[in-house]
């Protein structure tokens, strides 16, 4: 079962991502030491369950995480 959006945001925050913009979606960015953007992940508003396993995997890929690492960081 895919996690909820708030759980995904929690893991992003624990991995150095910060909210850069709020519009139709939140845009979470992780920057390197020089301030350049390394990764960007759009996340929908709300706390709904992530609709499909494929969407969850795509979001993990954008964040540079595996599903196993995601659940470790969620603990």
Sign of the Cα torsion 38, 42, 56, 75 reads positive
Label residues 28-60 b or e (16+ Cβ within 10 Å = b): bbbeeeeeeeebebebeeeeeebeeeeebeebb
Structure tokens at 51: 């609709």
pTM of the complete model: 0.88
Give the model's pLDDT for residue 22: 85
Across residues 65-69, what is the average pLDDT?
A: 93
All residues at 6 or more sequence positions from 15 whose CB lies less than 8 Å from its CB, including other chains: 30, 63, 65, 73
Domains and CATH numbers, the chain: 5-74 (3.30.920.30)
6-54: pLDDT as tens digits? 999 999 999 999 999 888 889 999 999 999 999 999 999 888 999 899 9
Give the model's pLDDT for residue 17: 95
53-63: pLDDT as tens digits? 999 999 999 99
């Amino acid at each position: 079962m895919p996690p909820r959006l708030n759980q995904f945001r929690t893991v992003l925050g624990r991995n150095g991502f910060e909210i850069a913009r709020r519009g139709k979606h939140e845009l979470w960015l992780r920057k390197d030491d020089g301030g350049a953007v390394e990764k960007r992940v759009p996340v929908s508003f709300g706390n709904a369950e992530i609709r499909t396993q494929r969407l969850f995997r795509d979001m993990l890929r954008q964040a540079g995480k595996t599903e196993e690492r995601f659940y470790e960081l969620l603990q």
